[in-house]
């Protein structure tokens, strides 16, 4: 495949897609990237990707050109999942959003030039929701720490081991999708467990259930 054919293919994808050299120079920038980041192709071509997006990973460190390279796989046409990760990037309006990034290596056999193809999707709302939940968990932990030594009443009904595991994972700040995958259960099964937990503890929300379980010594 020629680079021109690659660039034409990327124009057809719904994901924001661009290519960069090993040094970070932007070689292509599709229309979806223009919509997501606010920069036109003419504004960014031949500039350095770090200069344009100022990407930061979950630890706050630079994560595109000049930073730790993401897990990659060659553009060989085979099936299989492409590794992906989340980054916070800057848009043209100077705002910062979270995107999920997949990286593929494209080696031009004619010129010997290596390009990194990056496909990016907007996951800003998901990340914001996760951050809000983690903050609520922190508040719950502080409330538990400040609570008076009230008697730890037993729940109306004993919690099952699975229900205790679920509450413990929520208390650790895990989100629903992560917990469902870790326990190999469906999202609906997890919702059913939460319903039973709230009924047994006489609580109404996930946060309230975690707080009460910690107060009663039902989870660590």
| pLDDT at position 193 | 92
Q: Which two tokens stand for residue 217?
A: 């010594």
Q: How many structural domains comprise the chain?
A: 2
Residue-wise pLDDT for 73-104, tens only, equals 344 445 455 567 788 899 999 899 999 888 88
CB 91 within 8 A of CB 101: no
Give a yes or no: residue 138 inside a domain.
yes
β-strand pairing of 73-74 with 84-90: unpaired
| Ramachandran quadrant class, 21 (left: phi over 0; alpha: psi -120 to 50; beta: rest) | beta
- What DSSP element (H or E) covers 28? strand 26-29
CA 90, distance to chain mean position in Å, is 16
β-strand pairing of 96-107 with 73-74: parallel
Residue-wise pLDDT for 143-157, tens only, equals 665 554 454 555 567
Does this model's pTM top 0.85? My answer is no
Q: Which two tokens stand for residue 164?
A: 């205790």
How far is it, in rounded angstroms, from Cα 2 to Cα 170? Answer: 49
Domain around 82:
3-122
| pLDDT at position 208 | 82
Q: What is the CATH number of the domain that holds 100?
A: 3.30.450.20
Residue-wise pLDDT for 45-82, tens only, equals 999 998 999 888 765 555 554 343 444 434 444 545 55
Q: Is the pLDDT of residue 139 over 90?
A: no
Residues present in the chain in total: 220
Residue-wise pLDDT for 115-125, tens only, equals 889 999 998 88
Closest C-alpha among 57, 56, 65 to residue 27: 65
Query: H-type helices in the chain, by residue range?
Result: 3-11, 31-37, 41-44, 49-53, 124-146, 161-171, 176-183, 187-201, 206-215
Domain co-membership, 113 together with 137:
no
| pLDDT at position 176 | 87
Q: What is the CATH number of the domain that holds 172?
A: 1.10.10.10
How far is it, in rounded angstroms, from Cα 180 to Cα 182? Answer: 6
The strand ranges marked E within 64-148 are 73-74, 84-90, 96-107, 114-122
Domain co-membership, 69 together with 146:
no
Band of residue 137 on the pLDDT scale cut at 50, 70, 90: confident
| pLDDT at position 39 | 97
| pLDDT at position 149 | 44
Domain ends where: 122, 149, 180?
Answer: 122
| pLDDT at position 124 | 85
Residue-wise pLDDT for 161-199, tens only, equals 999 999 999 888 888 888 988 999 998 899 899 999 988
| pLDDT at position 101 | 87
Give a yes or no: residue 220 inside a domain.
no
In this structure, what are the phi and psi dihedrals at residue 38, rounded to the nearest 5 degrees?
Answer: 90, -5
Domain co-membership, 157 together with 74:
no
| pLDDT at position 70 | 43
CB 48 within 8 A of CB 69: no
For the CA atoms of the chain, what is the radius of gyration? 23
């Amino acid at each position: 495949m020629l680079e021109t054919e690659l660039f034409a293919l990327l124009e057809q994808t719904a994901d924001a897609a661009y290519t960069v050299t090993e040094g970070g120079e932007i070689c292509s920038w599709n229309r979806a990237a223009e919509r997501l980041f606010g920069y036109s192709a003419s504004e960014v071509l031949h500039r350095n990707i770090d200069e344009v997006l100022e990407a930061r990973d979950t630890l706050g460190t630079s994560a595109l050109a000049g930073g730790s390279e993401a897990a990659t796989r060659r553009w060989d046409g085979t099936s299989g999942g492409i590794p992906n990760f989340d980054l916070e990037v800057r848009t043209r309006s100077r705002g910062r959003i979270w995107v999920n990034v997949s990286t593929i290596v494209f080696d031009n056999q004619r010129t010997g030039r290596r390009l990194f193809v990056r496909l990016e999707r907007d996951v800003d709302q998901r990340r914001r929701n996760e951050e809000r939940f983690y903050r609520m968990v922190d508040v719950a932990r502080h409330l538990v720490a400040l609570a008076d030594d009230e008697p730890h009443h037993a729940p109306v009904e004993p919690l099952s081991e699975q229900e205790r595991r679920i509450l413990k994972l929520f208390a650790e700040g895990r989100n629903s999708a992560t917990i469902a995958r870790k326990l190999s259960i469906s999202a609906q099964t997890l919702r059913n467990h939460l319903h039973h937990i709230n009924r047994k503890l006489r609580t109404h929300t996930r946060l309230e259930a975690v707080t009460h379980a910690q107060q009663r010594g039902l989870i660590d």
